[in-house]
Structure formats: C-alpha cells, structure tokens
Amino acid sequence: MPSQAPEAPRTPPSAQARAPVYAIVGNPNCGKSTLFNALTGLKQKVGNYPGVTVEKKVGTAYSQHGVPIPLIDLPGAYSLAARSPDEAVTRDVLLGRRADTPAPDRILCIVDAANLERNLYLVHQVLDLGRPVILVLNMMDLVKRAGLTIRVDRLERALGVPVIACEAVNGRGIIELKMAMSRPDLPLSRHAWNVPIAIAPAVAELQASLAARDGRPPLVARAEALLLLTDQDDVRVAGSAPLCDATLGILASWRRRWEADGTDWSGTLVTSRYEAIGRLAADAVEQGRPAGPSWSDRIDIVVTHPVWGWLVLAGIMALLFLSIFTLAEYPMDWIDAHVAALNTWVKSALPPGDLNDLVTDGAISGVGGVVMFLPQILILFFFIGLLENTGYMARAAFIMDRVMSRVGLNGRSFIPLLSSYACAIPGIMATRTIEDPKDRLTTILVAPLMSCSARLPVYLLMIAALVPGDRVPLATKVGIMLLMYLLGTGGAFGFAWLFKSTLLKGAPPLMIMELPPYRIPRVKDVLLHMLERAWLFLKRAGTIILGISIVLWFLSAYPRAPQGSTAQQQVAQSYAGRAGHALEPLIRPIGFDWRIGIGLISSFAAREVFVSSTAVVFSAEHFEEGKGADIAPLRSALRDARWPDGRALFTPLVCFSLMVFYVFAMQCVSTVAVVRRETNSWRWPLFQIAYMTGTAWAVSFVVYQSGRALGF
Amino acid sequence: MAGEFKLSQLAAGDSAVVRGYPKSGGAFLRLREMGVLPGTAVTLVRTAPLGDPIEIKVRGYLLTLRKSEAEHVLVEQAPAGPETGGQP
C-alpha cells in the first residue's frame, strides 16, 4: 500500500506571529552563496555550529516593503543521507534536531537549472518534509547558452510549489524571489511520489515507530524513515538523535528479510526517486538547437591536458607566489611604516614607564608584526576564493589526486597545502572544502611544514652567515633554499602518510567529486568571502596573538636591568634570557647556545622575529629593521659570536642545523590560533606543537651530530 | 558488443550503460545518489594526466571518481542509436 505525503492545508496567516525563517539548501556549486549574498547584501554573519567545525551563515533579506526576512544558508549537500559533517548539519537542521538552530519555517531549494536531474534529488528529499518550499532555478544564463528551455509552469504544476527562475550572478529574478518569499501563505508541496511497493510497508512501520516511540513529528518521521532505508549506516543517519531499540529492531528485521530474498532496498529507493525526477525533467525541459561543446568543455581540454594542464597549473602557482612576493610589498611597507609611526606617537603621548612599554613594545609591536602579514593573507584568500568560484579548484584536485592519494589524502588537499608555501593560515582555513574530517585534520596538521614565507628571512640570514665572504653566489642561495623547501614538503607528505596510516586511520577516502562548469565569478562575492575570512582570522587569532605578544614582551623586558644597560644586557638577564639559559642544555646537542635559545622562544610570536631578536641579543649595532635591510652588520655580529670557550658559535654546520630546525619547528602563534579555531579544541594545536618541534629537534640533532662526526 | 565490463575499462569518448554494482559499500550509495544508477548512460570523458582519477559525463554533468571505485561498476556497451549520454 503506497504511502503519500498528506495533503496539507495552507498555513493560516494568523498563525504566524513572527516572520518565517527561511533556510537555503542546495547542491554545492549551484550558486547558493551568490544567491545568499544577493538576497542579504552585507547583512550576514558567519559563526559556528556549536560542537562541530561547520560554519553557520545567517542573514536578513528585505522584502519590497522593507519587511525583514530571516535567512539561514545551510551547507551545500547532495543528499540528506549525509556523508560529511557539513551535510550532517544540513540534515539535522532540516529535521529539527539541533537545539541551537530550530527547524526553518520555509525552505528555499536552489538548483543549477542547467543540471536539473541531479540537483532535483535533494529537492525530492526535502519535499518529503512537507514544509513550504520555493524552488529557485539558478544559472538560467547557462540554460540559455546550452540551448535548453525550461517550462516553469509544468514544474510548478508537478511539484505544487512556486518556481522562480534566477540568475543570481546578474541579480535577475531576485525581486520576483523576494516577492514570493514575502507571501503570507505558501502552499505545502503536494508531490505525491509513490514509495516503491517492495519497501512501502517498511516505511510505514518505521514512520509509525519513529513518531510514537522516538518522538518525531509525523512528517519528520516519514523523512527519517526514508533516510534509514536509503543509507545503510543507521548510526550515521540517527546522528545526534539516537533511535530506540524498537525502531532499530524493526529496521533490522526488514533488512534481514530483504537480504534473504535479495532485494536491493537502498538502491530501490534512490532509483525510484530518480525515475520520478527523470519523468519530471523529460516533461519540463526542452532541448532546442543541439549545443556543441560548451566553453567549459573547451577550457577543460587545455586545463586537464597531459601537457598543457601542467603548464596551466604551474602558471597559476607562479602567479600566486609572484603576487605574494611583489604585490604584497607595497601594503606591507605601508603598514610597517604606520605601525612604527603609531608606536612612536604612543610612546611620546603616554607618560614613560611600564604601561607605556607594555602598550608600545608589547601590544603594538607584537600585533603590528602580525598585521603586517595581512596583505599576504588577504591576497591568498582572494586567490583561493577565485580558484574555487571559477571552478578551477576542482580541476586542480582532479589533476593532483593521484599524488595525494599516495599518502592517503585526497586531491582537495592540494590547494590548501600549496597556499601554505606562502602562509599556512589561509591554507588551513581553506581546508573547509575537504569533506572527510580525518583528511581535513591531517591536512591541517601537516600544512605548517610547507615552508612558509616567514621562514625566508631566517633562511636568508643563515645562508649569509654560513657562506664565507660578503656576497653569496645566487646558485648557492637558491640551492640551499630549494633544499629547505624540499625538506619541508617531504616532511609534510611523510607525516600525512604516517597520520593517515596510524592516528587518523579511516576508511579510504572517496574521490567522487563533481567538476562544475567554469564560471566568471562576481568579484563582489570573492571580495566578500576574502573579507569574511580575514575578519574571522583577526577575531579569533587576534586575542590569542595579543595575549602571547604581551607575554613574550614581558619575558624579555623583566626583570628590569639597571639604568644605562644596553638592550643586549637587558635581554640577557631577563626572564627570556633565563629561559634561554635553562634551555641551553637541551639545545647544545644541536649546536645552539642560550642566545639562540632566546631567538627560538621569541620566534613563537612569528618566525621572522628571530632576525630582530637575534640582532638585539648579539648586539648588532646600526642594525635597521624592516624589509630590504642590510644584514651585513648582523652577519658580522653573528660571525664574531663565540662560545664561552672561544670557539665560533655560528659555524656553517650550526647555521645549517638552525635552518633545518626552522623547517620543522612549530612556531607562529597566529597559526596555532587558527588551528585552534578550525579544530574547535586545544588538543590538536598542542599535539602539532609537540610533534613538529620534537621532529625539529630530532632532525637538527642528526644533522649536527653527524656533521660533527664527519669533522665539520 | 554485448557483455559486461568495468567502468574503469572504458576508453575515452566511449559511452556505456550502467548494469550494476555491489549492493553495499560506502562509495556506491553516493554514486547512486549522484545519479549513476543501473540503466543510466555514462560517457568516459578523459583520464587525469597522471592516470587516475577518471572523469565521466552522466545526466548532463561531469563526475570524477577513482579507478579503484570505478572498478566495481559494471557497464555494458551502449546500444547504437541517438546519443544517450551526452545530453547537456
């Protein structure tokens, strides 16, 4: 006996005391965020769903009459049978399982109209919930270009819901959409789809049990019953709302029955939905003039070509790094100058004393050092956003998947790891596109091993100190740097393999991924995304960075040396100096003394701080800070540095050992703060500090001791 | 040409019709929900430059999957006639 969604009456206007909350659902890549941005403008907020590392996006749209319409943008999903934390959140919110986010009153289903069939699968599931739905056909421009015509009236008749055609990218259809959304009453969908006879009785039984014993509202019970009969993993379906034994019992007995007679129950349900969708699409979509290969296909021939594809990838990588190292220069210098000016001004404005020093040398200098990297971070966010929105990101993952799968990762880890060559922060924040939580965590854990640009000043200083004479031959410089980059990359892949084989071992990751058609994104959207990411970084990391900066300043400023001491003497007897002394026994086996120890400690603020703190500790006179500074005075100070027994401190071997240490060590408080935010706990950042710094020590030890044994 | 073979054995540009795959396993639910069902027409568009994964066209869109996943999908040569797999 087929079960049907009950013919529900329209919601009476008087029953709505507040404005109905809309949830936007749709497949990834259907232009959902563009639509959300078009509807809400800047009136949106990004937060986190408590307990999971999934972002929550809410906003407000305004109708023609200025009435606010609350919106929540749910994570993209292909199906309510969730396979990733993102999809699980979408499912849970729609089923009303999340206490922090009540089930929405109405649902906006967005589909890529040029790709109707697969997109309608999710819509088909959502219609089971019996809530008022508006179907939005997005990307109508692509539909026209492909020579298709969509009979909106037929869709409306078949599904019983309003259907609005849109081009979110151009803003077309938004007004009609807002008008539909402001309607006081919307019909509940009456899509009468017959559950296949073979499993219909099971659906009815489960539905009854879920409603009666697990306390689900009737329509949610039906939707959940269908999900339980789609996904074979009932624990995954139940998620945070476990089922009672009776329900599980019913499920188990039906499964046994089907196993016995060979019915493919989950396949049956999916097939039945697609059959209904196929009939709908055949009726409503008309193919006009046959379209040749689309622009997208033509671009793909080049982009995924065995030869040209690599050139395109290399070109994009080169563009990325070039923009970091050249474009970023100007804003960085600007920020540097202004922070210094602010510092000077505050120094003179406040009365001299401890508070003055705290604010200027502690807070402003510390935070200023991080803010100075903001241009690089913004450029990277922009670039990553552009790659994602144009559709190239999926191609990069496609091309690189084979390499990534060797270490147990997925092609999607490629761009985050690549970005980490410039700065790990945008790279780590970009791991959100990685669906599998273990893959994502592994990528986050190894990303800082890709030698970021902050390590460059350290490498350059050590190379200068290492090579005799004044000028370093370019070949040597490039050669040594390449070696460091290779070490870092090798370490990243090595540890990824290790983690995926042991700690974070999981099911072999799937690489079932859609290649969306190429699009010209709205620059506005990419900029908004960039600003959003940067703001999230500053907000979360900002407080931690400020705190640590002040602590580090405190360690080197106290206790106060007697009046008239040089900076060098001050640092030497400060807490930082004492910490350096305490550290010395630990780092002597890798060739460092307590003064280098101070440098290591201060690098925790940011790696490049090593250069300036070393300048102070070794009392390099006339050493000017800032980019492009002449490091000659510092280099000669390093060359003159001695151990108490008179032998040289910075031998070539020690310089090498120091560089290797920096390749692996986890420094940079900003990265720690971001990892904390992206993993929602302190456990992983602390683990990361431990394993990376431990490895740094171990590798430096091997390098130094074998060097000594070989007579260097 | 009758007879079933694996999706991973399809040559670039060739079309086929899906015949079946194992009833259980993580990949297959997702593949099915993405529209790769028995009776669906698929076309192999290309293989990645490094040899894996493969890219197929199904129900008008492009999907990638690894050869290790495609291995388990059984297909049959598409019957000659109007193109079934390339519908935009």
Which CATH number characterizes residue B70's domain? 2.30.30.90
Q: Are residues A36 and A138 in the same domain?
A: yes
How do residues A14-41 score in pLDDT, each as one tens digit?
A: 444 578 999 999 999 899 999 999 999 8
How far the first Cα of chain A sits from its last, in Å, is 86
Contacts of B70 in chain A (CB under 8 A): none
Out of A182, A210, A242, pick the residue that ends a domain.
A182
The total number of structural domains in chain B stands at 1
Q: Is residue B63 part of a domain?
A: yes
In this prediction, residue A80 carries a pLDDT of 93
A701 belongs to a structural domain: yes
Residue A277 lies in a domain: no
Q: Are residues A540 and A573 in the same domain?
A: yes
Q: How many CA atoms lie within 13 A of A20 on its CB side?
A: 26
Question: How big is chain A, counted in residues?
Answer: 712
Domain count, chain A: 4
Do A293 and A146 touch, CB atoms closer than 8 A? no
Backbone φ and ψ for A2, nearest 5 degrees, come out as -70, 145
Considering the domain architecture, whether residues A425 and A547 belong to the same structural domain is answered as no
A398 contacts on B by Cβ (under 8 Å)? 48, 53, 55, 64
Output the six-digit token pair for A567: 């900076």
Residues of B in contact with A232 (CB under 8 A): 24, 29
For residue A461, tell me if it sits in a domain.
no
Query: Is residue A152 one of the residues assigned to a domain?
Result: yes
The SS3 call for residue B6 is strand
Indicate if the pLDDT at residue A634 is higher than 50. yes
Q: Is residue B86 part of a domain?
A: no
State which of A82-91, A415-424, A685-694 shows the largest mean pLDDT: A685-694
Contacts of B25 (CB under 8 A, 6+ apart): B72
Tell me if A126 sits within 8 A of A74, measured CB to CB.
no
Interchain CB distance below 8 Å, A81 and B24: no
What pLDDT is stored for residue B84 in this prediction? 45
List the domain range (segments joined by +) for residue A667: 528-709
CB pairs under 8 A between A and B: 119
Q: Who's near A610: CB < 8 A, 6+ residues apart?
A: A457, A458, A461, A599, A600, A602, A603, A662
CB A23 within 8 A of CB A94: yes
Nearest CA in chain A to B32: A270
Q: Is the pLDDT of residue B64 over 70?
A: yes
| A129, A151, A182 - which closes a domain | A182
Q: Is residue A539 part of a domain?
A: yes
Dig out the tokens for A112 from the structure: 């890529």
pLDDT at residue B56 is higher than 80: yes
Nearest-angstrom CA–CA distance, B53 and B56: 10
Instruction: Give yes or no for a contact between A480 and A463, defined as CB atoms under 8 angstroms apart.
Output: yes
Instruction: Report the C-alpha gap between A218 and A199 in whole angstroms.
Output: 19
> Are A430 and A419 a contacting pair, CB within 8 Å?
yes
Domain shared by A91 and A208, yes or no? no
Nearest one of A673, A703, A694 to A685, comparing CA atoms: A673
A474: left (phi over 0), alpha (psi -120 to 50) or beta: alpha
Contact A232 B24 (CB under 8 A): yes
DSSP 3-state of A527: helix
How many whole angstroms separate alpha carbon A609 and alpha carbon A361?
A: 13
Residue type, position A356, single letter: N
Residue A191 lies in a domain: no
Out of A34-43, A206-215, A593-602, A614-623, pick the least confident: A614-623
Same domain, A74 and A27: yes
Query: Is pLDDT above 70 for B2?
Result: no
Residues A150-209: tens digit of each pLDDT: 999 999 988 889 999 999 888 899 999 999 998 888 888 766 678 888 888 988 998 898
Q: Which range among A18-27, A553-562, B55-64 shows the weakest confidence by mean pLDDT?
A: A553-562
A512 with A540, same domain: the answer is no
* A172 and A250 belong to one structural domain: no
Q: Is residue A559 included in any domain, yes or no?
A: yes
Question: How many angstroms separate the CA atoms of A148 and A311, rounded?
Answer: 35
B52 vs A: CB within 8 A: yes
The two structure tokens encoding residue A122:
């999710």
- Residue A253 shares a structural domain with residue A348: no
Contact present, A429 and A533 (Cβ < 8 Å): yes
Q: Concatenate the DSSP letters of all residues of A82-128 into one string.
A: --SHHHHHHHHHHTT--SSSPPPSEEEEEEEGGGHHHHHHHHHHHHT
Distance of CA A177 to the CA centre of its chain: 31
Query: What is the pTM (predicted TM-score) of this model?
Result: 0.86
Q: Sign of the CA dihedral A456, A459, A461, A467?
A: negative
